[in-house]
Amino acid sequence: QMASGQLSRAEALACSGCLHACHVLLYSDTPRQLFGNIPIRHIILMQMRFDGLLGFPGGLVNPAEETLEAGLTRELSEELGVALPISVEDHVNSCHAPASSPSSSPSSRLITHFYVKKMEEEQIIEVERAATSTATDHGHEVLGMVRVPLYTMKRGGGLGPFLSHSFIGSARSQLIDSLLRLNLVAPEELHEALTRSLKIHSHT
């Protein structure tokens, strides 16, 4: 059953006048601990974009010229500096971008396609390395890669403050949905972090 605003991949591709953007959440498990006692559990890669917003790697794809997955793979080679083939099996959902989004005028509505790919820890560290060295977009469209802190520390540091930053499009909800769906954070821990992230905003 699909949530409101969602389309199947086929329905999305049938929209002739639509623009398409594909983004991917890359993650791995990790046995490492912060300060030797806080389990990091997973490495999830996001990026600081040229517009100062946090988002997932990926970008605009033209389905008339390439498949969605080939286009996403091309965007990843530009933004991350690695050949990282994304396949149809990695597809999670496709949604109409909210009407408030600057890229969605009535004549060219934006459909965003979201993918998730699990990797080995060594591979994801290699992606981070390439993203700041060989990637052509580094320093221009991509200002840096960031890992998502999944823990909540005694004084509240971690996921809560991370979620209080500004995100592009639906990247924040794509992250939160994925944390739950992939069991990367316990629901009660996520709920606590969400509550903290809202409190941070109410103080500014």
Residue 49 phi, psi (nearest 5) = -85, 170
Pairing of strands 33-34, 19-29: unpaired
d(CA 126, CA 110): 32
Q: How far is the CB of 153 from ligand APR (least distance, A)?
A: 27
d(CA 180, CA 25): 13
Q: Which stretch binds ligand APR (CB under 6 A): 54-62, 143-151, 157-165, 194-202?
A: 54-62
Q: How far is the CB of 58 from ligand APR (least distance, A)?
A: 5
Q: Which stretch binds ligand APR (CB under 6 A): 2-10, 57-65, 116-124, 158-166?
A: 57-65
| Chain contacts with Mg ion (rule: CB under 5 A) | 59, 75
Cβ distance to ligand APR smaller for residue 15 or 153: 15
Residue 169 interacts with which of Mg ion, ligand APR, none, CB < 5 to 8 Å by class: ligand APR
Pairing of strands 110-118, 91-96: antiparallel
Mask for 98-137, x = binds ligand APR (CB under 6 A): ---x-x--------x-------------------------
How far does the chain reach from its first CA to its final CA, in angstroms?
A: 39
Question: If residue 124 lies in a helix (H) or strand (E), which one and from where to where?
Answer: helix 121-131
Q: Which stretch binds ligand APR (CB under 6 A): 83-91, 95-103, 123-131, 149-157?
A: 95-103
Would you tell me how many other CB atoms lie within 10 Å of the CB of residue 22?
29
**What is the CB-side half-sphere exposure of residue 198 using CA atoms within 13 A?**
5
Instruction: Name the residues that contact ligand APR, by CB under 6 A.
Output: 21, 23, 55-56, 58-60, 75, 97, 101, 103, 112, 141, 168-171, 174
